[in-house]
Chains A and B, each alone.
Chain A
Amino acid sequence: MLQRLLMVLSIGAALAMLAVLVVRTQGEPQTLEGHLGRMTALAQLSAANVEADTQVMRARLSLESDAQGLEDAMRRLEAARTALALHRDGLRAVSRDVGNAVSGLLQQLDDKQALLGSYRSQVGEFAGSYAKFGQESDLVLADPALAGDAGLRSAVRRLLEEVTTYSLQSAPTNQDTLDGLMTQVTVGAGSAPALRSRLIALSNAAARVVGDKDQLTAIAGKLGEVPVAATLDRLQKNYIAHYAKDEANLARYRQVLAIYAAALLAVFGLVGWRLRRSYGELDRSHDELQNLNASLEETVQARTGELRKALDDLRFQQAQLVQSEKMAALGQMVAGVAHEINTPLGYARGNVETVRESLPFVRELIEAEQSGDARRREEAQRRWPADEGLAEFEILLKDAEHGLGQIAELVLGLKDFSRVDRSLTELFSLNDGLDTALKICQSQLKGRVEVQREYGELPLVPCAPSQINQVFLNLISNAGQAIEGQGLIMLRTYAEDDEAVVEVQDSGCGMDADTLAHIFEPFFTTKPVGKGTGLGLSIVFRIVEDHRGRIEVDSRPGQGTTFRLRLPLKAAAATSTSTIEPAGEIVLKEAFA
């Protein structure tokens, strides 16, 4: 935020600086046209001034009333003054001093104009009085009275010369001579009255010429006192100096502007370069991002593939575990059944063999009896006492028969248990199922666990007998395993509402609440590692669910456990056929997938 503010400020400062420099270099007074105009005006004024001064001089020297040159000079000076007045503002803009000087100059010019006007009219006056004096002198000289007075005549002539000299000289020094001559002339007029009046008129005319000349000289002196030329010269110098200074300033500003512009250009260039580089980096980042995106997608796909494979593996392993649980249950069953069969088979086979092995002795006895040889008969009798032997045969064969019966019964039980030769769903006696399962796990319980049966009157229940038998076997087997040493298993069946209820109760170790919460979860087991897959009860749960039944557990640590299985008596009959069969199919498919 602060950085952004600083950036905006610096950009503003740079632009303001640029504006200032541009304004500085574009100042109005510094236009060349204005400068030339001002210089021209000053030069014209100077020339007009000089001309005016010249005309003033000439007018004094000419004793004629005609002063055309002076009037022209006055007009030119007026024109030059007007031109300067036009440039007054421009000059004032250059500098206040110059402006003031211009004002002073204009004032002086006005004064000079006025004096020139006075001078011009005085020149007329003077020319008139000089002409009058000329006429008077001609009259005097023509007077015959004078011809006799050589002295007076010479004085008149000298007066004429002195007046002319006075008139022509700018600073006449013959005032005293003139006064003397005039007095001499006036005094000399005693002789003739006509001449005398003429001489007085001549003296008066000479006095008027001297007076006019003095006035003219006074005005010329005043004109000379107006320092237009000096002021103009100062103004010109001043203006040129200011102009040069401005020009130098301007040049400096231009230089600064050029440097500043170059610097700005460099800064913009740098910024541009950095922008370009940033864009380049952005482009690169963008490309990288796109690449990353692409590779991310690939990675995601690969991961998904891996996960899918892992899931498949897991499913496969789960199916294998279910299968291995089934195999473990089968193995347990086979172990029990093998022991159950091998025992009767052992003695049945042993007995039959024993009887067969004894047959030679029996044959020998019969032959000895038939031969009539007493000694032989006695020997045979001794080796195989008939009464004893036959009694033993009877026992052995009876035992063998019993053993074979046992085996036949077990095989039948196995067949009942597996129901391999029956359809999947049928009406099944749960009591019979319990008995079959009991027979199969008899070897686990024999002599250790007492089994009590309280079977109620149950209608046939529609179900998959092989699956329900598996449930019974699992529950009874678990009950047996829960009992350490001696104990009791109670099997109870009854009908309640529309359900058939089977209870398997044991006097075993029981379970705490924590264990109870997990018993139907797959892979949960309290048995040592490798002893159980933890799938038994989860499979039980699934089978019962498939039958639309429920399973409940009551258990207390140290007091035993009761599993209560509830199967619908009728309701499920219609649907169970469709639900159970696929379930069985699925299990098989999973197991062999």
Chain B
Amino acid sequence: MTMATTPARPRLLFVDDESRILMSLKAIFRADYDVTTAEGGAAALEILKKERFEVIVSDQRMPGITGVEVLRTAREVQPQAVRMLLTGYSDLNAIIASINEGEIFRFIPKPWVNGELRETMAAAVRAASVEHVQLPPEPPPGPAQNAVYREVGVLVLDDDPQTGAALRAALGGEREVHAAATIDAALEILGQQKIGVIFTELAIAGQGVGPLLGALRQHHPALVVIAFTGRADASHSISLINHGQVFRLLQKPVASSVLRGTANIASRRHEMLRQHPDQAQRVVADTAPMLQAAERTGLLARLTKFLRRS
């Protein structure tokens, strides 16, 4: 209701091939927001060219142009806008693509609950209110690039030692890569070293890293998280994006060039987040469930202890 007092109401774009969905969403949000709907991906791309939006919500499965394609284009055309995927069922590839290519804010399952949907929309609108800062361009290869990247510590958390070795090989000798096989070892390194980018396996010794990521996001907003896994599953991936706001989700085995590229872009993002702390608001995650889990396992206390020590 407070939004109603703002002079210009936030503009939302809903994209779906089912008009009844659009009707339904419009009925929910039209009181508080300026709602535009597009019936299908092609129509959405047309509208994106003409109008600017704070939040773009798209269905995934649509004839012709998929939701991931719409959101990827939106990220290029309107990087300021916060993107979300709303879908009844999506295969894993679509989810991973929406994370890596669409850099989505949230993944919303159908059927939704109106109240939760309103809360998520409010969070998205808040994130969108922070001015978007363009990622600095890749410095030309050479000493300058090395100097920039050397500033950002890289941590690998995986009980498979090959992952660390692969990343070291991908990054070459010029950057130091810290490797940890356990969560405690990772906390130790995080406390002692200046870590900007963390590559983590989804489960370490059978224990999910979700709570750790939630807690880190809370205490270490500039940390950029890249998750990778050999056995990705849809619900895990959705949880990673909604509760952990992972920057990228990679599927093993990861090509060396992808590792290097991902590490570089993540390093630049870390630098950007460090220089513009308010940008963290744009990637704020719904960390509550993760934090509760971290609290339960005592991880949060350990984390706080470690980070305080530094």
Contacts and interface: CB of A to CB of B under 8 A. Distances in A.
Contact of B88 (A342, A351, A446): A342
Interface string B85-117: 001110100000000000000000111111001
Interface string A338-356: 1111111111111101100
Contact of A351 (B17, B27, B87): B27
B268 to A, nearest CB: 33
A345 B24 contact: no
B62 interface: yes
A363 to B, nearest CB: 17
A19 B54 CA distance: 130
Contacts of B185: none
Given A346-B24, A396-B24, A335 B91 contact: yes
A350 B112 contact: yes
A402 B20 contact: yes
A310 B84 CA distance: 51
Contact of A350 (B61, B64, B89, B114): B114
Contacts of A396: 23-24, 27
B253 to A, nearest CB: 13
Contacts of A395: 23
Contact of A447 (B17, B25, B87): B17
A342 B111 contact: yes
B114 A357 contact: yes
Nearest to B28: A354
A204 B61 CA distance: 192
A353 B17 CA distance: 22
Contacts of B117: 350
A396 B22 CA distance: 11
Given A342-B110, A354-B114, A396-B23, A447 B88 contact: no
Interface in A543-589: none
Contacts of B23: 347, 351, 395-396, 399
A392 interface: yes
A324 to B, nearest CB: 16
A418 interface: no
Interface residues of B, number: 24
Contacts of A353: 113-114
Given A346-B21, A349-B111, A443-B61, A335 B89 contact: yes
A354 B27 contact: yes
B114 A347 contact: no
B18 interface: yes
Contacts of B109: 342
In this complex, the member of B24, B62, B87, B112 whose beta carbon has the largest number of chain A beta carbons within 10 angstroms is: B24
B20 A403 contact: yes
Contacts of B17: 446-447
Given A339-B88, A392-B27, A395-B23, A347 B18 contact: yes
Interface in A317-342: 335, 338-342
A448 interface: yes
A353 B25 CA distance: 11
A585 to B, nearest CB: 33
A354 B30 CA distance: 11
B63 interface: yes
B63 to A, nearest CB: 2
What does DSSP make chain B's interface, helix, strand, loop or mixed? loop
Contacts of B63: 446-448
Nearest to B61: A339
Given A395-B23, A396-B23, A447-B17, A341 B88 contact: yes
A583 B17 CA distance: 43
B12 to A, nearest CB: 15
Nearest to A358: B27
Nearest to A384: B31
A93 B282 CA distance: 144
A444 to B, nearest CB: 9
Contacts of B62: 447
A399 B111 contact: no
Contacts of B110: 342-343, 345-346
A347 B25 CA distance: 8
Given A335-B89, A354-B114, A347 B20 contact: yes
Interface in A426-447: 443, 446-447
B114 A346 contact: no
A293 B117 CA distance: 78
A354 B24 CA distance: 8
Nearest to B60: A339
A190 B146 CA distance: 197
Nearest to B59: A343
In this complex, the member of B23, B28, B111, B114 whose beta carbon has the largest number of chain A beta carbons within 10 angstroms is: B111
Given A350-B24, A350-B25, A343 B88 contact: yes
Contacts of B20: 344, 347, 399, 402-403
Contacts of A347: 18, 20-21, 23-24
A338 B87 CA distance: 10
17 contacts: A339-B87, A339-B88, A344-B20, A346-B24, A346-B111, A347-B18, A347-B23, A348-B111, A349-B113, A350-B27, A350-B28, A353-B114, A354-B27, A396-B24, A399-B20, A446-B17, A446-B61
Of all A-B residue pairs in the complex, the 4 with the closest CB atoms, nearest first, are A447-B63, A342-B88, A346-B110, A347-B24
Given A345-B111, A350-B25, A395-B23, 13 more contacts: A339-B87, A342-B109, A342-B110, A342-B111, A343-B18, A346-B24, A346-B112, A347-B18, A354-B24, A396-B23, A399-B24, A446-B17, A447-B64
